[in-house]
Amino acid sequence: MFSKSAKFYNAIYASMGKDHASEAQKVHHIIQQYKKSTGNALLEVACGTGLHASVLKDFYQVEGLDMDDKMLAVATQNLPGIPFHQADMVDFDLGKQFGAITCLFSSIGYVKTKNRLEQAIQNMTNHLLPGGVLIVEPWFTPEQWKPGRVSALFVDQPDLKISRMNISEVEGNLSFFVFHYTVGTPHGVEYFTERHELGLFTHEEYLEAFRNANIEVIHDPEGLDGRGLYIGLKS
């Protein structure tokens, strides 16, 4: 996924104005509003380079999990005191439970299929303590996804210049796009691509996945930045 661009990930999303610190604070407030368990351990699923974890660690005993070893390498370097695990959200088994679990920035879309969505929600629920909170930020629904949309962003730092462009495409219930990167550093200019595929799930499919996992679900239509949130409460 982000293996080729992992070392540039933080600079790319900073250039977009994504405020991971503010989002993490909102997540913290939601957890405190709903959590009934006494456990203070938090698992960040699809943690990426650990930008949310860097704030959440001030409130919780944080652990991170991601499939991408390059992203985890950046996270481990930036946050050496936090345990990070390389695994798939669908079938990971850490042998422990947490008071809170998050899956943010629409990473749930990478499961691609409805069956794997239900497996992921069930697996995260299994890792949640009774009274714990599961927070999932969804990807776009089929109605929200706009094929043919051209996107671009640019990083302009003294020793780092990046352009990233893509066109949104769709095939059935799968959204996909190929990021085209041009990266300039004092060592030279390189070009590479990354293909990303994410499942387009309906609101009802998200709700059904939580209900099938026997976890109460609350939908916040606004969420952290307009994409909404699904908040699961384990009894």
Rounded mean pLDDT of 193-208?
98
pLDDT above 90: residue 2: no
User: Could you report how far apart the first and last alpha carbons of the chain are, in Å?
Assistant: 35
Residue type, 163: S
Helical segments of the chain, H only: 9-15, 20-34, 53-56, 69-78, 114-126, 203-212
pLDDT at 214: 98
Give the percent of the chain with pLDDT over 70.
100
pLDDT at 3: 80
Question: pLDDT (tens digit, 9 = 90+) per residue, 171-195?
Answer: 999 999 999 999 999 999 999 999 9
Give the percent of the chain with pLDDT over 90.
97
Nearest to 60 by CA among 97, 93, 98, 34: 98
Domain ranges for the chain: 6-141+202-233, 150-199
Higher pLDDT, 125 or 39: 125
Label residue 1 by pLDDT band (50, 70, 90). Answer: confident
Nearest to 90 by CA among 70, 73, 107: 107
Handedness of CA 198, 200, 203, 207 (dihedral sign): negative
Rounded mean pLDDT of 40-48?
98
**Strands of the chain, DSSP E:** 41-45, 61-66, 84-86, 98-103, 128-136, 150-157, 160-167, 169-171, 174-185, 188-199, 216-220, 229-233
pLDDT above 90: residue 24: yes
- Give the architecture (CATH level 2) of 150-199: Single Sheet (2.20)
Nearest to 22 by CA among 108, 99, 104, 85: 104
Residue type, 119: Q
Judge contact between 54 and 44, C-beta under 8 A.
no
Residue 5 backbone dihedrals phi, psi, to 5 degrees: -105, 5
Q: Tokens 């390059």 correspond to what residue? A: 70
- Separation CA 208–CA 94 (nearest Å): 25
Q: Tokens 């916040």 correspond to what residue? A: 220
pLDDT above 90: residue 217: yes
Judge contact between 127 and 101, C-beta under 8 A.
yes
- The average confidence (pLDDT) of the chain is 97
Label residue 39 by pLDDT band (50, 70, 90). Answer: confident
pLDDT at 43: 98
Domain spanning 6-141+202-233: CATH superfamily: Vaccinia Virus protein VP39 (3.40.50.150)
